[in-house]
Each structure stands twice: as structure tokens, then as C-alpha cells.
Amino acid sequence: MSYVVNRGPRPVAEATRERVLAAMEELNYRPNASARALKLARTYVLGLMMTDITNPYYSEFARIFQDLAYEAGYAVMIANTAHDGAKEIAELKSLLAREVDGIAAYGVREEETLELLASSGVRTVSMDWHLTRDGMPSVVIDDYRATRLAIEHLQGHHHQRIGLIGGTGDRTARQQAWRDAMGPILGRDLEGLAEWGEFSRDGGYHATMRLLDRPDRPSAMFVSSDVQAFGALRAAQVLRLNVPRDVAIVSFDGTVASAYTSPPLTTIQVPYEQVARQCLRKLTDPRDSFEMHTTLDHYLEVRSSCGCNPEP
């Protein structure tokens, strides 16, 4: 009987209860989630969309999100959008077809994705810089201020020419912050000190190669993500440039992987667990009284790539 397995909504006599339990055991009964989902119109499954789970930033987030979701009784389905609009839309449809109860999305770029999300009515949270125009709830840190903080730290090390490794796509806050910080100092040199690449090791590697392999190279760079910084470090080594002596680096994410590079990266620390926790709350909490946009605190994790800790 349903009442005993679900402890309600109405009481059951102890004797009957035991009898039912015994029968369940006997018949090796397993509740059928599909039937339950059909009846309740809830699947207890959440979708997690990311550009690429291979990026430590996303895999570390996925780990925490899955743990927390599990504790709350939810399973999580993953979707890789692969920096590709068509794939993004297709994967979203797949999630929607499975009737997930909510979707946490990193890096949506397609207009159609936003429309699909809105028209489907699933609860959604974006972890990217506020998608205000669409009224989609979000949980983020202040990318603009974080980037300014990173650049100011580099300036504290007396760097004048600070380059940018930016991400392809529209992480506008980060590149805008760099522009605002360096524009007044670099003037006409500004555009020459920015290079762009995918959010991947390879993207960071090639962008850094272009930025550093020339005489007027910057003495420091702000790299938009840890994963790009891994590629940047490799590029510096190939060019026989010492980090931080020849080029100082500050990056963005605060992955645990960034603590194990040579040298360890100074990086903007995103509060993963809090982000995950807030996402989950917005996706699953029945009370609907949340703020639309939540901005969490970040800080600068100071290690060696900026020049602070010359020892290994």
C-alpha cells in the first residue's frame, strides 16, 4: 500500500504496516519511478547543462551539484553543449523531453534556448552573468568586480602592461572590466594586448602563444579561466618564459586543479558550494519567494603565478 512506503498522507496501523512490509520483501517489490513520475508530474531529476564537463571548473561544479542534489532526493542528468549552438538546443530538447524538474545552465548562448526554456515552463537557473532581459533566475558572482580585483592585484606588483586572454563568446563582464581598467593606461595599445580563445587548455595555449610571442609582449596577463591558464602556463614554458618573473598571471575560477600547476595559480575563487546550493534551492524549493538574481562573494586566492610567493 502506498501509505506505508510514503509515510502518509494518512496513518496506517502498525500491524497492517508490518504485513505490507513483509509482502514487499517477499515479492522483492521496487517502486516504479516512471509510474510515480507520471502520476505526480514530477521526476525528481534535474538537468545540468554545461559547455564541456572536461573543464575542471564545470566538473568540480558538477561534482558538488550532484552531491547536493542527491542528498535532496534528486538525480542529475548531464548535457554537454560543446560550444555549439545546435548541440545546445538539441541537448536541451532531450532534457525537456525527459521532463526534468529543473535545469541549471552554464553558458547558454542561443536565443532559441532561452525561448524553449521559457515556453516549456521548467524551472531554470543560470550561473552566467545575469541574463536579466529574459527574467531568468541566476546565481553568479560579480565578474566585473572580480576581474578588477585581479587586475589591481597585478598592478600592485607594478605591472603596467597587463594583457587579456579572453573567452570566445560573450563573457562581457570580464573583458569589459579589463578594458575599463587598462584603457586609460594603454590607450591605443589596448586592442593589441587582448587575445581570444575557447575555454579550454588548447584555447588558452594558442591565445597565449599569439599574445606572448612578440617583442612588445605584456609583462602580465589576466586569463579569463583556469582552464585557459593551464594552456597559458604551457605556452610560457614553450617560449622559455618564466612565470611569474617574465609574465605574471592571474586567472579566474579557483578550481582545485589550479593549486597543482607549476607555479600554482593565483586565481579568483568562485564559491562553488554556495553557488550549487543556491541553484538547488531555486530549482527545488517549493516556496517561490526567492530573489531573481543572487550574487555571491568571491575573493582572490593568492598563490604564486602573480609573483607573490617566489618559493615553489
Partner DNA sequence: TTGTAGGCGTTATCAG
Partner DNA sequence: CTGATAACGCCTACAA
Residues that bind DNA (CB under 7 A): 1-3, 5-6, 9-13, 15-16, 29-32, 35-36, 38-41
Residue 302 lies near a copy of itself (rule: CB under 8 A): no
- Please report how close the Cβ of residue 261 comes to DNA at its closest, in angstroms: 49
- Please report how close the Cβ of residue 261 comes to a copy of itself at its closest, in angstroms: 7
Stated length of the chain: 312
Using CA atoms, how far apart are residues 301 and 281, in angstroms rounded to an integer?
27
Three-state SS for 2? helix
- Closer CB to DNA, 40 or 187, in the complex: 40
- Closer CB to a copy of itself, 14 or 26, in the complex: 26
**Which entry of a copy of itself, DNA, none binds 297, CB below 5 to 8 A by partner kind?**
none
Show the binding pattern over residues 122-161: x = contacts a copy of itself (CB under 8 A), - = does not: ----------------------------------------
User: Nearest to residue 307, comparing CAs of 267, 260, 251, 266?
Assistant: 266
**Which entry of DNA, a copy of itself, none binds 2, CB below 5 to 8 A by partner kind?**
DNA
Could you tell me the CA-to-CA distances from 70 to 45, 75, 78, 110, 252 in Å, in that order?
10, 6, 14, 29, 28
Q: Provide the 8-state DSSP code for 218.
A: -
107 dihedral zone (left: phi>0; alpha: psi -120 to 50; beta): left
- Closer CB to a copy of itself, 63 or 158, in the complex: 63
* Segment 15 to 44, residues that bind a copy of itself, using CB under 8 A: 28, 30-35, 37-38, 43
* Segment 73 to 112, residues that bind a copy of itself, using CB under 8 A: 75-80, 82, 90-91, 94-99
Using CA atoms, how far apart are residues 141 and 149, in angstroms rounded to an integer?
13
- Closer CB to a copy of itself, 196 or 205, in the complex: 205
- Closer CB to a copy of itself, 38 or 292, in the complex: 38
Q: Provide the 8-state DSSP code for 265.
A: P
- Please report how close the Cβ of residue 284 comes to DNA at its closest, in angstroms: 17
Q: What angle do CA 245, 250, 252 make, to 5 degrees?
A: 160
- Closer CB to DNA, 43 or 305, in the complex: 43
Structure-block grid coordinates of residue 240: 622559455
- Please report how close the Cβ of residue 22 comes to DNA at its closest, in angstroms: 13
User: Nearest to residue 265, comparing CAs of 240, 228, 238, 239?
Assistant: 228
Contacts of 61 by beta carbon, 8 Å cutoff, 6+ apart: 50, 106, 127, 272, 275, 276
- Beta-ladder partners of 47: 77, 103
State the number of binding residues for a copy of itself (CB under 8 A). Answer: 57
Residues of this chain that bind a copy of itself (CB under 8 A): 28, 30-35, 37-38, 43, 45, 52-54, 56, 59-60, 62-63, 66-67, 70, 75-80, 82, 90-91, 94-99, 119-120, 201, 205, 230-231, 233-234, 237-238, 240, 256-257, 259-264, 312
